[in-house]
Amino acid sequence: MRPVACRDRSVALRRGGAGILLAVLTALSTLVVGGSAHAATTPCSPDDATACLNVTVTVPGSGPAAGVALSVEGEGGTLAATTDAAGKASVPLTAAGDYTVTVDESTLPAGTVLKDPAANPAVVTVALGRSAGRIVQVVPPEQAGAETGEPDDGDASTGAETGTTGGADTGAGADTEAGAEAEASAEASAGPGTNRYAQLVLAGLVFGVLLALAALGANLIYGTTGLSNFSHGELVTLGGMTAFMAVQWWGLPLWLAIVISTAAGGVMGWLLNRVLFGPLRRRGVGITQQMIVTIGLSLAMLSSFLFFFGARPAPIVSGISQRMQIGPVQISGQSLVSVGIALVVLAAVAFVLARTRLGRATRAVSDNPALAAATGIKVESVVSRVWIVSAGLASLGGVLLALYLNTTRFNFGSTLLLLMFAAITLGGLGSPLGAVLGALVIGLVVELSTLVMPSDMRYASALVILILVLLLRPQGILGRAERIG
């Protein structure tokens, strides 16, 4: 394990690098966390004042490892725990911060050792109101050392789970070998006094509205340029990560972080069009080649986010909002505000497209760029503004979706890209209203699919919708059928 001074220096270098990368977008500060923890033997349930640290010890191919002793050390002292028959140990903590998890190797099952001895002990960051998880694999001695990783840099065995006030973990971070959790919102969980079906419908509508905000930008770009932007998901990630930095590193209030994130997305959209896609269009580069460029750009941005922020989930806020009972459903105040913001922005975009000069010019460019140019419309100026607005909408959607799903991470937007493309295809390529309708349908399908399939597979339902739409109605709900050939 690295010395503490080297580890702190590594974290500082990463934060400094992120500041250089996004210097025109935001500023950085240091998040100082700490506190004490208290051990308990009862099952842990996260709430506004409690975080849960869940450790799972498994033997690949054999099952859980019971009776493994471990310690959790923080400013409040050292807490002891032992894995149960399922190979799990849960430790409640009353303060956010970094905790060192050490596995007692002498208590491992006979004939096994740690698969990655260099990762023991490991540092896990916890936040109040959430569950953080760590997976420890034990293997026969000849298989040890197959993987190495520095836990603080986003080790694959370190994950986080999203938690609800009621203690029902809605993510699966501590139970997946890759450490990647299936994020889920508190709205999808039916608490006491709620109807499960009504709760899932509400969660689907909320998710659909927020997804529509992110998908609308990609549809506007396609409508004006014909380009399917595969880097649009990374613009969503940019919004979530910028908000995370603004709140957790910079110490800014959430509302200001939302404004900064939206502005950061707009600036990034302007830069992408000015530096990259504008010159490509002027040189006559085809749409297919430009689409390949967006794929490369997506990979580059994804790798940059992973390098600067690591693989760990990055929650924007540390606590969870109080949920309100409305008839047979519950919804958090945070989700209500997010949906309100999204609806206002969507209405504003609809008004601009329908009633303003810029909106009419945008629709003209979307219908026929050559004819629009012949009538005096500055096509490149319109396309530049569309890029700015689209990227700003993506970043704003990224913040609101991160708040809804309780976390963000380096691949946050890329995991939602399939859902956005499915919504755009379902609603109709190039149709803004179609993107909104498609997103609402996708949101409902994603949440209601958990009635018949595991939560981890809920995003796969969007792929089924995408295939069915392409087979039965390729132009989508509001799209126009076109003759080919």
Q: E strand or H helix at 302, and its extent?
A: helix 287-309
Among 181-195, 204-218, 273-287, 293-307, whose mean pLDDT is lowest?
181-195
Residue-wise pLDDT tens digits, 85-143: 888 888 888 888 888 899 998 898 888 888 888 888 888 888 877 788 888 888 887 76
Query: Is this prediction's pTM over 0.85?
Result: no
Mean pLDDT value across residues 229-254: 94
- Domain range 196-472, its CATH number among 1.10.3470, 1.25.40, 1.10.10, 3.10.450: 1.10.3470
Among 149-163, 219-233, 272-286, whose mean pLDDT is lowest?
149-163
DSSP string, 337-401: HHHHHHHHHHHHHHHHHHHSHHHHHHHHHHH-HHHHHHTT--HHHHHHHHHHHHHHHHHHHHHHH
Superfamily holding 29-181: Immunoglobulins (2.60.40.10)
CATH 2.60.40.10 residue window(s) in the chain = 29-181
Residue 290 CA to residue 274 CA, distance in Å, equals 14
Residue-wise pLDDT tens digits, 350-393: 999 999 999 999 999 988 999 999 999 999 999 999 999 999 99
Among 220-224, 335-339, 449-453, whose mean pLDDT is lowest?
449-453
CB 440 within 8 A of CB 216: no
CATH 1.10.3470 residue window(s) in the chain = 196-472
> What's the residue count for the chain?
485
